[in-house]
Structure formats: structure tokens, C-alpha cells
Amino acid sequence: MMADDEHVEQIRSGCRYAAHAARKHLAQTFSLLCQRNDRDRLERLCALILDAAVDACTSQPLPPQQQQQQQQQQQQQLATLPRPFVVGMLGLVAQVLKTLRHQPPSDTRLRTTQTLVNGRLVDALLSGTACRIHGSETMHALVALLAALKTWRVCTGCASGNVLHDLSTQTRIVECVAGVLGTSDRTLHRKGVEILGLLCATSSHPHLILGAMDAVGGFLDRVYMTADAGDWWSAIQMPSFSELCSTASEMRDRQTLKLAIKAVIQAMLRSIDLGYQSTASICSRIEPRLSALTLKLDRLPHHLLMLFADNDTDLIRMLSDLLHLHGRWTDAPTTTPTVHAAVSECDPSRLFVMMLSLWDFDHIALMDLVVVDDTGFNAYLCEYLDYVSSRPESLEAACRALGPSIDDMDQEFDGDDNSNVDETDYRVSTISTLDDLARVLQSSSKRNLISADVSRLVRLLSDFAHKHSVD
């Protein structure tokens, strides 16, 4: 059986089949060592992977001029292709980091994270991201950098003392990602914006958040605020829309814009967490870009639902983030009027009713989301019911305000004429849907048909029914 260093040499060899087998073996070995809590061998394997990754990211794409002419010609022919050793090692780094953060909390997991996610790895990944020899190499470097940030967040709780906590390191990451966002590759844009969003959610440095917002804002200006952006917005409203149908020159990407919006929300939430007195500065970065999302401010909730409706998980997380933001916004420092109005327009009850309308007030669909709960819907629904319990008037106000606007949204999604639905129907439909959901959950739970713990949700739904009834 080959030793671990021999498997690394197999990745270095350039033989794609051997490199793939070696990478798979090292990833499986790492996972097995984590399960066995074998600290000593884990440290040796981490050191080996780290050395190889640094070597891969800092290696030159072309051989020295002193090498033979035949080698130079061969290398020049391959210069347009991703280097197997670089791609293989970056892929292995991302894979072991993902394995590490999915391990149960332990001292071994913490120590392994500290061993692997250090200054040398971050420098190597930034070098691999900045050296855009081939898009595939840059993409793998971004994926590995994102995996390092996620692992640091999950395994250490963003603890200080790690290089990723330093302002200088985070600033270098923002600058590097800003360069990536200046390219025309939308696959790189997606990972870059996701990295900025993660930094906004975890950074303890207000100025870093401002820098990240500048990068996101500049990207939105360049890509989503152009003269022809209206055609793209019209296209994504169509049920048949698919990113796969976009042309290669199309840089606008639905998922990237969703990630940008998440980054903005995370930046606003984090600025409140930090007690940052210049929250208005962050809002000043956001305000000019609101026009990229909506022509009229009161249409912002409709555009958000339209944008996020393609994926239940993304939709529910966005609604949950806005619920948290709306609940804490009254404690935030003075902000720009437009952003304050935008947050007010995204009222949790209004968005909740719009979501139910989007799903045709189908309590069976809600039941499926609660039982499977791979979207976080159970937690979101409990949070919303807690919210509306202390603000029962918000649901009434939302249903009164949604009459003509929600009809327009339904037509955007379905093309149906809903003009015969008056605003009181939304109140009746919402209350009836939640009553039906409570009844089905109680019945299924008593008959042991579901394994999920829904006791808290059933209690909150019961409280909701006592405060809201269909007249």
C-alpha cells in the first residue's frame, strides 16, 4: 500500500486517472482519521496536504527558459489548460475542509482546523485566485477559500487568533475577490459574491464590511444596472426561464444576484451586532443600488419573491433573514430614508402572506416542508408565529395592503387573472391554511406518522388560532 506522500506524488504526476484515484484515497483517509480521532496522523496528513497545496498554488505555469525547447513547446500548448496538480490539490483541500466541518464538535476537530487553516494556506489560495492563468484554477482556488472560511466559522466560531480573523487578511480577500468580480466569468462571480457575503456575516471589522459592500455595489453597477438589464428582469419572470439558456456573454446570473442580496442583508445585520455607529455609511452604499432591483420602492417585496421563488431553501432563508432584520431595525442607528423605507416595505407579515399565495395557500405543501425540514421552514415558521403573536395587527394590515399588488405578482408567476380576489380573501386564506396545517400536524403526530418534533410549532399554531379567527 502506498504511503500518503506517494499519493500526493500521484496527484503531481499529471496522470488524470492516477491523480483522481490518489485524491479520492487521501480524502477517504482524512475522513477515517477524523472518525477515529487519530490526532497524530491527522496532523501529519494535514501538513502533507498543506505543503502540496502551497507548492501547487505558487508553482510557475511555464518552465524556466533554461529547459529544453521541446519542454517549452509542450508547456506552451498546455498553458491554456488547467494544470492537473493545481486543480487536484485545490479540490482536495476543499474536500477535506468540508469533511472537517461536518465532524461532530471535538478538540480534535478544533486542533485540526487550526493546523490546516493557517496563514500559509490562505496566502496560497489568494495566490491561486489572483493568478488567473485558467478559469478552472481560479474557480478551484475560490472554492477552497470559501471552504476555509466556512470551516473556520463552523469549527472555531470565528474565534480570534486565526489568520482569517485578522483585518489585513480579510482586506486582502476582499481586494482579491473584487478583482475576480471585474472579470467576465459569471461562474467566478458567484463564488466571489458568496465569499463577500460570508465575510459580511462574520467579520468583526466595520471598515471591512464597508469595503465588501463597495465591491458588491461596484459589481451590481457594472452588471445589473446597465441599460439592457430590464430585458433580463423580464426574462426571469417567465416560468420557462433557465440560466442554461443564457448566452456565454451574459454576465447576469440569478444565483449571483441572490447571493449579493444576501450579502447586503448580512452586512446590515452584522453592523447592528457590532453596535456600529456608522450603519448609515453601509446604507449609503446600498441606497443607489435599490434601483437595480425595483422601479418603485413598493414593488421591492414582489421582486424579491420573484427572484428567490426558484428555490424553496433560498426563499425561506431570505425571508428568515429579513424577519430578523425587521425585528431589530428599530434599534439601529439613523439610516438613509430610502433604505429605511425599503426595510419597512419588506414587512414580515406581508412577505409571509405573499409566500403562502405563491404556494396557493396549500397546507399540504407546508406540511411537507415542516416534516422534511431540509429548508429550515420549521424554524422560520416558528419565528414568524412568535413575531406575529406580539404584533397581531401586522397580519391584518398586511392583508389589507396586499390587495392589488399581490394580484400583479400572481400574474407575473402564473399569468392568471386574479382580479376577482379581494383583499379580505388573503386574511381568510392565511388563517384557514394555518388552521389546516395545525390540524394535520396534530393528527399525524398522534398517529406517529411523522418523526420530526413539531410540538412547539403546534403550540404556536394553536396560539395563533386563538388570536386570529375567520369571521
End-to-end Cα separation, the chain, in angstroms: 75
Nearest to 151 by CA among 126, 176, 205, 115: 115
pLDDT, tens digit only, all 471 positions of the chain: 568 888 888 888 778 888 889 899 999 999 999 999 999 999 999 999 999 999 888 765 444 444 444 344 434 444 444 578 888 899 999 999 999 999 999 999 999 999 999 999 999 999 888 765 567 888 999 999 999 999 999 998 877 777 888 999 999 999 999 999 998 888 899 999 999 999 999 988 888 998 999 999 889 888 877 666 666 666 666 655 555 445 555 678 888 989 999 998 998 888 887 765 556 677 777 776 665 554 456 678 888 888 898 889 999 999 999 999 887 776 555 566 777 778 888 899 999 999 999 999 999 999 999 988 778 899 999 999 999 998 888 898 888 888 644 444 444 445 444 444 444 488 899 999 999 999 999 998 888 888 778 889 999 999 998 888 766
For the chain, how are helix, strand and coil distributed in percent, rounded to 5?
75, 0, 25
DSSP codes joined into one string, 362-426: -HHHHHHHHHH-SSSHHHHHHHHHHHHHH-HHHHHHHHHHTHHHHHHHHHHHH----TT--THHH
- Other Cβ atoms closer than 10 A to 119: 12
**Residue 318, pLDDT score:** 94
The answer to whether 101 touches 117, Cβ cutoff 8 Å, is no
DSSP label of 292? G
Handedness of CA 270, 276, 277, 282 (dihedral sign): negative
Angle at 57 between CA 80 and CA 155, to 5 degrees: 130
The answer to whether 196 touches 216, Cβ cutoff 8 Å, is yes
Distance CA 28, CA 360 (A): 45
The answer to whether 412 touches 392, Cβ cutoff 8 Å, is no
Distance CA 256, CA 262 (A): 10
Handedness of CA 202, 209, 183, 190 (dihedral sign): positive
> Residue 237 is placed in which grid cell?
419572470
| Helical segments of 157-228, H only | 167-181, 186-202, 206-223
pTM across the whole model: 0.84
**Residue 5, pLDDT score:** 84
> Residue 236 is placed in which grid cell?
426571469
Nearest to 280 by CA among 347, 228, 213: 213
Distance CA 395, CA 427 (A): 8
**Residue 187, pLDDT score:** 87
- Other Cβ atoms closer than 10 A to 434: 22
Which position has the grid cell 428568515? Answer: 320
Dihedral of CA atoms 223, 224, 225, 227 in degrees, nearest 10, equals: 80
Which position has the grid cell 459589481? Answer: 219
> Residue 234 is placed in which grid cell?
423580464
Nearest to 214 by CA among 196, 229, 233: 196
> Residue 203 is placed in which grid cell?
467579520
Angle at 209 between CA 207 and CA 210, to 5 degrees: 65
Q: Which residues contact 468 (CB under 8 A, 6 or more apart)?
A: 392, 395, 431
Length of the chain: 471
Q: Which residues contact 51 (CB under 8 A, 6 or more apart)?
A: none
